[in-house]
Structure 1
Amino acid sequence: MSDLVLLNGRLLDPTTGDFLPHGSLAAHGGDIVAVGDESSVRPWISPAATVVDLRGAVITPGLIDGHCHPVSGADLTRGADLSACVDLPGLRAELDRARRALAPGEWLHGWGLDPNLFGDLPISADTVGPVLAGVPAVLRLFDAHSTLASHRALELAGVTGPRRFDEAAEIVCDERGRPTGLLLEEPASMLVEEAAPKPSDEQFRARVAEVLRGMAAAGLTGGHMMEGDRAERAVLRALDERGELPLRLRLAPWCRPGDAVGELIAAQGDGGALWRVAGVKLFLDGTIDNGTAWLEKPDCHGESMHPYWPDPAAYTAAVVAFDAAGVPTATHAIGDAAIRHVLLSLEKSRTIGHRIEHIETLPDDLVPRFAELGVTASMQPTHCCEFTRADHTDNWSRRLGEERAARAWRCRDLWEAGATVVLGSDWPIAPYPPLGVMAGARHRRPARDLSQPPHGLDQALTPLQALRGMTVNAGSGRLAVGERADLTVLADDPLRVSDLDLAALPVRLTVTAGRVTHRAADL
Structure 2
Amino acid sequence: MPADLVLLSARLLDPGTGALLPHTALAARDGRIVLLGDDREARALAGPRSTVLDLRGAVVLPGLTDGHLHPVSGAERTMGVDLSACRDLDAVRAVLADAVRALPPGGWLRGWGLDPNAFGGAPVGHAALGPVLDGVPAFIELFDAHSALAGARALELAGIDGPRAFEQGSEIVCDADGRPTGLLLEDAACALVEAVAPRPTEAEIRARAAEVLRAMAASGLTGGHAMDANGDTLAVYTALEAEDALPLRLRVHPWCPPEADDDTVAELIRLQGTGGALWRVAGVKLFMDGTIDNGTAWLEAPDRHGESTRAFWPDPRRYSRVIAALHRAGVPTATHAIGDAAVRHVLDSVEKAQTEGPGAVRHRVEHIETVPDDTVRRFAPLGVAASMQPTHCCEFTRADHTDNWSRRLGEERAGHAFRCRDLWDAGARVVLGSDWPVAPYPPLEVMAGARHRRPADLSLPPHGPDQALTPLRALRAMTVNPAWVAGEEGIAGRLAVGHRADLTVLAEDPLAVADTELAQVPVVATVLAGRVTYRGAAL
TM-score range, shorter chain: over 0.9
1:478 CA drift (Å): 1.8
Q: Deviations over 1:164-217 (max 9, x none)?
A: 101110011122222111000000001111211111111110011111001000
Aligned letter for 1:35?
A: L
Q: Which runs of 5+ in 1 are unaligned?
A: none
Task: For residue 281 of structure 1, give the secondary structure of its aligned residue in structure 2.
Answer: strand
**Given the alignment of the two structures, is residue 56 of structure 1 paired with residue 57 of structure 2, yes or no?**
yes
Q: Which residue of 2 aligns with 1:489?
A: 505
Report the count of equivalent residues. 522
| Counterpart position of 1:273 | 277
1:468 has 2:472 as partner = no
Superposition CA RMSD, Å: 0.9
**2:524 equivalent among 489, 494, 508:** 508
Cross-structure match for 1:130? 131
Of 263, 268, 271, the residue aligned with 2:267 is: 263
Q: By how many angstroms is 1:351 displaced?
A: 3.7
Q: Which residue of 1 aligns with 2:460?
A: 452
**The 10-residue stretch of structure 1 (127-136 or 458-467) with the greater mean CA deviation from structure 2:** 127-136
Counterpart amino acid of residue 217 in structure 1: A
Q: Deviation at 1:230?
A: 6.0
Where does residue 328 of structure 1 map in the other structure? 332
TM-score (norm 1): 0.99
**Identical aligned residues as a percent:** 68
Give the deviation of 1:119 after TM superposition.
Answer: 1.4
Is it true that 1:401 corresponds to 2:410 in the alignment? Answer: yes
1:375 aligned residue: 384
Q: Tell me the alpha carbon deviations over residues 35-60 of structure 1, each in whole angstroms, 9 at most, x when there is no partner.
A: 11000110111111111110100000
SS at match of 1:392: coil
Q: Does 1:70 align with 2:82?
A: no
Give the whole-Å Cα distance in 2 for the aligned partners of 1:235 and 1:199.
13
Does the CA contact (< 8 Å) of 1:328 and 1:351 recur in 2? no
Code of the residue aligned with 1:52 in structure 2: it is L
The alignment partner of 1:89 has SS state of helix
Amino acid paired to 1:343:
L
Counterparts of 1:55 and 1:252, CA distance in 2:
39
1:32-431 matches, within 5 Å, as 32-229=33-230, 231-259=232-260, 260-348=264-352, 349=354, 350-431=359-440
Aligned-pair CA distance for 1:521: 2.0
Residue 408 of structure 1: how far off its partner (Å): 1.1
Q: Which runs of 5+ in 2 are unaligned?
A: 484-491
Q: Is the 8 A contact 1:490 1:508 kept in 2?
A: yes
CA shift, 1:318, in A, is 0.3
Taking the aligned partners of 1:467 and 1:172, their CA distance within structure 2 comes to 41
8 Å contact from structure 1 (residues 327, 351) kept in 2? no
What is the identity, as a one-letter code, of the residue corresponding to 1:111? Answer: W
- Structure 2 CA distance, aligned partners of 1:164 and 1:352? 36
3-state SS, counterpart of residue 500 of structure 1: helix
Q: Is the 8 A contact 1:376 1:421 kept in 2?
A: yes
- In 2, Cα distance between the equivalents of 1:70 and 1:211? 7
TM-score normalized by structure 2? 0.96
- For residues 150 and 477 of structure 1, the distance between their equivalents in structure 2, rounded to whole angstroms, comes to 46
For 2:495, the aligned partner's letter is: L
Q: Which amino acid aligns with 1:443?
A: H
Q: Distance in 2 between matches of 1:317 and 1:410?
A: 29
Q: How far, CA to CA, are the matches of 1:53 and 1:287 in structure 2?
A: 47
Distance 1:467 1:434 in 2: 10
Determine helix, strand or coil for the equivalent of 2:516. coil
Q: Is the 8 A contact 2:58 2:508 kept in 1?
A: yes
Query: Residue 501 of structure 1: SS of its match in structure 2?
Result: helix
Offset of 1:228 from its aligned partner? 1.7
